[in-house]
């Protein structure tokens, strides 16, 4: 591994600044879904068991550098205490005299939660002064928020530069899964990319054709690829200004030896609503007044055969307009095939993306996947092959001499 974990740190008597993502839904001052908080328990427990004092650093929503009372982290305290089984002391600033006073008054066994880091404009500007002030509160920096690792902010990058730094348990699991899926994959490696638009996933497609053995393209973006091959897609979602781009991706795939699979049959309908009449047609036979809303059964069978011979799968984007049945059929079938192969120990499967996670849950397949990333933008940037500042700094810190 290229980064340190909590196992590499001597935590005894140390103040550990832990960057977490606790953007949870709140209604009337109460947390309504504490999943994100509960997932942090292993990191917090390991720090406390090792004799360290956790100091939580987090942003909440987008206050844009101003103190916005509605975006305070204070209402999260009861949920944090319940999840971690420890007293949580809240400090109304993430820096300065207030934070220092809260820290020195902290009793053994308690956790300190600092206020929303984005109340300070310096946070998103990665201001060195703010980084130094926050770093002064801790002895060790631990990043457990992969979902913000694509941002070079004080709490994700600046503080890490100044202290011995490591990945928390969640970050560690995410990095290990992503490394197994794309950096050092067992081959054949297959990518499934779907969703609405080519334009939002251009860089991702460009990176994947260089790395994967098979690229399965589905969803609305497949229509753009079909159109690029001169096929009439009727009223389907299709980005006309992306036809050259799609053709260029196909040409690049030919050069790199990446086999592309596009739908050979499709499900079309005249309306996108529950119970709308639909029919299965060859991909090049969409009527002028109809829309392609899903891949057909022959395509589903071809996808299953590719998955069956694969060792690793990486998935972003649903195969069809999965929100409304029956246009969820191809997504469900591919998801269940991947889930079964994973359960049988024959496939490493990693998936991410807001709608993708929803679709895999809806298919009842998510629990069987090797890893489901809830990181959103960070997951996509990683799939695009970009350097994530929050991860990169951990890699660079690893190269530094061990802490005293």
Residue ranges of the annotated binding site for substrate are 21-23, 36, 59-62, 118, 151
Among residues 234, 326, 354, 377, which is the contact residue for ligand ADP, using CB under 6 A? 354
Instruction: Please report, to the nearest 10 degrees, the dihedral formed by the alpha carbons of residues 267, 273, 276, 280 taken in order.
Output: 0
With beta carbons less than 8 A apart as the criterion, state whether 79 and 37 touch: yes
Of 4, 19, 36, 169, the catalytic one is: 36
With beta carbons less than 8 A apart as the criterion, state whether 375 and 351 touch: no
- Pick from ligand ADP, Mg ion, none: which does 166 bind, CB < 5 to 8 A by kind? none
Smallest gap from Cβ 23 to ligand ADP, in A, equals: 17
Q: How far apart are alpha carbons 52 and 334 in whole angstroms?
A: 45
For ligand ADP, the closer CB: 79 or 321: 321
Is 100 among the residues that bind Mg ion (CB under 5 A)?
A: no
- Active-site residue 36, yes or no? yes
Of 96, 206, 354, 385, the catalytic one is: 354
Give the position of tokens 């997504």. 331
Binding site as annotated, residues: 21-23, 36, 59-62, 118, 151, 201, 323, 353-356
With beta carbons less than 8 A apart as the criterion, state whether 89 and 111 touch: yes
Q: How far apart are alpha carbons 154 and 287 in whole angstroms?
A: 54
- Active-site residue 158, yes or no? no
Per CB under 6 A, the segment of 48-56, 66-74, 137-145, 194-202 that binds ligand ADP is: 194-202
Smallest gap from Cβ 164 to ligand ADP, in A, equals: 35
From residue 176, give the alpha-carbon distance in Å to each of 360, 387, 391.
21, 16, 12
Smallest gap from Cβ 204 to ligand ADP, in A, equals: 9
With beta carbons less than 8 A apart as the criterion, state whether 216 and 191 touch: yes
Give the position of tokens 């590499």. 8
Q: Which two tokens stand for residue 47?
A: 């720090």
- Active-site residue 66, yes or no? no
Among residues 355, 384, 392, 403, which is the contact residue for Mg ion, using CB under 5 A? 355
Binding site as annotated, residues for (2R)-3-phosphoglycerate: 36, 118, 151
Kind and range of the H or E element at 192? Answer: strand 189-193
Query: Mask 291-330, x = binds ligand ADP (CB under 6 A)?
Result: -xx----------------------xxx-xx-x-------
Binding site as annotated, residues for ATP: 201, 323, 353-356
Q: How far apart are alpha carbons 151 and 136 in whole angstroms?
A: 22
**Which active-site residues does the annotation give?**
36, 197, 354, 377
Residues found near ligand ADP in the complex (CB under 6 A): 194-196, 219-220, 237, 292-293, 316-318, 320-321, 323, 353-356
């Amino acid at each position: 591994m290229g980064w340190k974990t909590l196992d590499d740190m001597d935590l005894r008597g140390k103040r550990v600044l832990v960057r977490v993502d606790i953007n949870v839904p709140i209604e009337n001052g109460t947390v309504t879904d504490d999943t994100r908080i509960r997932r942090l328990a292993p990191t917090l427990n390991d720090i406390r068991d090792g004799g360290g004092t956790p100091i939580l650093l987090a942003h909440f929503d987008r206050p844009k550098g101003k103190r916005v009372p509605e975006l305070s982290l204070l209402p999260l305290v009861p949920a944090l205490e319940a999840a971690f089984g420890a007293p949580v002391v809240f400090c109304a600033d993430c820096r300065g005299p207030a934070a220092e006073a809260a820290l020195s008054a902290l009793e053994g066994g308690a956790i300190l939660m600092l206020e929303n880091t984005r109340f300070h404009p310096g946070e998103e500007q990665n201001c060195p002064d703010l980084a130094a002030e926050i770093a002064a509160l801790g002895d060790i920096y631990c990043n457990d928020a992969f979902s913000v690792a694509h941002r070079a902010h004080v709490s994700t990058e600046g503080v890490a530069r100044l202290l011995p730094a490591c990945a928390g348990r969640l970050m560690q699991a995410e990095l290990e899964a992503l490394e197994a899926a794309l950096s050092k994959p067992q081959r054949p490696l297959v990518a499934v990319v779907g969703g609405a638009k080519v334009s939002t996933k251009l860089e991702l497609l460009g990176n994947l054709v260089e790395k994967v053995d098979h690229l399965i393209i589905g969803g609305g973006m497949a229509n753009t690829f079909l159109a690029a091959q001169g096929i009439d897609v009727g009223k389907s979602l299709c980005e006309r200004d992306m036809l050259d781009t799609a053709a260029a991706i196909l040409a690049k795939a030919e050069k790199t030896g990446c086999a592309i699979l596009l739908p050979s049959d499709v499900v079309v309908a005249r309306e996108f609503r529950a119970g709308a009449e639909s029919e299965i047609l060859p991909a090049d036979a969409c009527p002028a007044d109809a829309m392609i809303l899903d891949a057909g059964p022959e395509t589903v069978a071809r996808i299953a055969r590719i998955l069956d011979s694969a060792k690793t799968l990486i998935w972003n984007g649903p195969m069809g307009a999965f929100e409304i049945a029956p246009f969820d059929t191809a997504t469900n079938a591919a998801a269940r095939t991947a889930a079964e192969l994973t359960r049988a120990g024959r496939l490493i499967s990693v998936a991410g993306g807001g709608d993708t996670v929803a679709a895999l849950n809806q298919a009842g397949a998510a629990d069987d996947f090797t890893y489901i990333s809830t990181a959103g933008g960070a997951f996509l940037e990683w799939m695009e092959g970009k350097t994530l500042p929050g991860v990169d700094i951990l890699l660079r810190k690893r190269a530094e001499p061990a802490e005293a």
